[in-house]
Amino acid sequence: MVSPVTLNLKNSQAANCSDIPVYPFSAFRDHIITSVKNGAKLSALFGNPVTDQGLQLMSVLSYPESGTLSLLAASVGESYASLTPDCPAAHWFEREIAEQWGVTPLGHPWLKPIRFHQPFGNHANIWGWNPDEAVKPGVTDFFQVKGEEVHEVAVGPIHAGVIEPGHFRFNCHGETVLHLEIALGYQHRGIERALQSGPDKKTLHMMETLAGDTTIGHYTAYCQALEGLSGCAVPPRAQALRAMALELERLANHTGDLGALAGDIGFLPTASFCGRLRGDFLNLTALICGNRFGRDMIRPGGVLFDLEEQRKEKFLGNLENAFRDVKRAAELLWESSSVVSRFEKVGVITREQAVQLGLVGPAARACGLAHDIRCDFPAGAYADFKIPICTQEAGDVNARAYLRWMEIQKSVAYVRTLANALPPGPIRTPAGALPANRVAVSMVEGWRGEICHVAMTDDVGKFHRYKVVDPSFHNWMGLAVAMRQQQISDFPMCNKSFNLSYCGHDL
């Protein structure tokens, strides 16, 4: 069989929407399944409404070796043959498509809503929910295990701590979890629906708050997409400042995660130190832009805030102080045998499982998969200044924790290098209006992993479709699989080792 000719783009490169090849569905399906088997990653699969042809499915396959993002489309009617049985990484995407567009993937093994909302526009709800009634989140079938002494534990949507909502159902035999099923959607604010016909004055702020702990990540992805579409060249100094902000975001969250993991096993010194140190990294971001989460740091065409000489001195001093303390706090973890014995061999994901599920970010790298957007699809400063990929092999909580510590060290070194080699020049150029009927795919390695935005404009240069894939979208199933055959009391620790986003998933 001849494989389809795809539209191949680099990160944030734009093309005409009409250049995306449309193939018969069977060829589209075969191409995705074969490519993923051969090492491509399914970065996005989504519905795209086309006026005269109904719904198109569109796929973005990413090829780490060549740094290529390849686009392909196929028209579908009310149903199509599900990809999931042959390509488990499509599992969550197909459920999303079914929920948003009322299209049924025939043969999908577990076809349930993922966010609990009525479909876009006038599309039919495939579960037959009454459009006049409020949606009932979490009310659906759950996987059940039957047998003597098998019991279910239901948690959420409101959890014990100061944390976002989600509903978890554990099927347990004694203390052992046989299966965990996760129902999300409680944070659904309708972002993708609102983005259609944008951008407007709210769009930037939706991007900032898409996942508040990943403000810089999603913000950068959005701006890269816009700049790709409008052909705007971002000044090198702005690129460097963006990369610094992205690494500071990683530093704050990775540090916080090490502290939270320590807290979950009752190792209070590191828990307490890292709680404070996470804030020190946030305050470094605030030193540049005034806000701890990097709000308003970035704008299409560059950044709003500069790091002048005098500020840089203070910045670097504070960075070194924070790193010195994080080093002590992190080393304490792996010098304590009680910590290592709790972290090791818990919540294991094998390399094969990680590939099959399509995991991204630290969760995938902890299973030995050397994938990182910063290296595989470099954009901005990462194209010139390389950052090394860190990996671990064991795929357990310990690997995910230690990987964070490795990445903390690399990020600090990277921020230090960039700050000392900040290119001179402006920090912003005007970004022009968006051209009509163009498409761009923008990828960023957020602290949780691969962020993928696909922007498509219409006849007047407004968003015809804007697709957001948060890294958590790929990884929630990973957490569920990691919990199999584990003690239910290890769930908090396993959960923290992934630390996934609810709002980034729910949109």
Partner 1 sequence: MLKSLLARWQQGYRTIPFPSEKVNLPDRFRGRPEIDPSKCPDGCRECVKACPTDAILPTENHFQIDLGRCLFCTDCQEACPSGAITHSSDYRLAARKRNDLLVGEEVLRLAGALEEKRKKLFGKSLKLRQVSAGGCNGCEADVNVLQTIVFDLGRFGIQFVASPRHADGLLVTGPVTGNMSSALHKAYEAIPSPKLVIAVGACAIAGGPYMGQAEVKNGVDGELPVDLYIPGCPPHPLTILDGLLRLLGRLEKG
Minimum distance from residue 270 beta carbon to partner 1 (Å): 8
Structural contact between residues 57 and 438, judged by C-beta atoms closer than 8 angstroms: no
State which of residues 21, 49, 107, 275 lies at the interface with partner 1 (CB under 8 A): 275
Structural contact between residues 176 and 494, judged by C-beta atoms closer than 8 angstroms: no
In single-letter form, the type of residue at position 376 comes to: D
Using rule CB under 8 A, residue 492 touches partner 1: no
Using rule CB under 8 A, residue 494 touches partner 1: no
Residue with smaller CB distance to partner 1, 151 or 205? 205
Residue with smaller CB distance to partner 1, 29 or 115? 115
Minimum distance from residue 29 beta carbon to partner 1 (Å): 32
Residue with smaller CB distance to partner 1, 147 or 161? 161
DSSP summary character for residue 427: S
Using rule CB under 8 A, residue 190 touches partner 1: yes
Residue with smaller CB distance to partner 1, 77 or 290? 290
State which of residues 4, 105, 119, 137 lies at the interface with partner 1 (CB under 8 A): 137
Taking the C-alpha atoms of residue 499 and residue 506, their distance in angstroms, rounded to an integer, is 15
Taking the C-alpha atoms of residue 107 and residue 33, their distance in angstroms, rounded to an integer, is 15
Q: Which of 6-14, 125-133, 238-246, 265-273 is the region at the interface with partner 1 (rule: CB under 8 A)?
A: 265-273
Q: In what order do the strands lie in the sheet with 150-155?
A: 150-155, 167-173, 176-183, 486-487
Please report, as residue ranges, which positions from 294 to 313 form the binding site for partner 1 (by CB under 8 A).
295-296, 304-305
Minimum distance from residue 299 beta carbon to partner 1 (Å): 9
Structural contact between residues 232 and 301, judged by C-beta atoms closer than 8 angstroms: yes
Taking the C-alpha atoms of residue 253 and residue 472, their distance in angstroms, rounded to an integer, is 14
State which of residues 170, 222, 273, 498 lies at the interface with partner 1 (CB under 8 A): 273
Using rule CB under 8 A, residue 194 touches partner 1: yes
Using rule CB under 8 A, residue 54 touches partner 1: no
Taking the C-alpha atoms of residue 21 and residue 263, their distance in angstroms, rounded to an integer, is 51
Q: Which of 182-190, 342-350, 392-400, 437-445 is the region at the interface with partner 1 (rule: CB under 8 A)?
A: 182-190
Minimum distance from residue 15 beta carbon to partner 1 (Å): 30
Taking the C-alpha atoms of residue 313 and residue 303, their distance in angstroms, rounded to an integer, is 20
DSSP summary character for residue 118: P
Taking the C-alpha atoms of residue 477 and residue 503, their distance in angstroms, rounded to an integer, is 16
42 closest CA partner among 114, 96, 78, 79: 96
Using rule CB under 8 A, residue 93 touches partner 1: no
CA-based end-to-end distance of the chain: 39
Question: Which residues contact partner 1 (rule: CB under 8 A)?
Answer: 116-117, 134-135, 137, 157-158, 160-165, 185-190, 193-194, 201-202, 204-206, 208-213, 215, 269, 272-273, 275-276, 278-279, 283, 286-293, 295-296, 304-305, 325, 328-329, 332, 335-336, 501-503
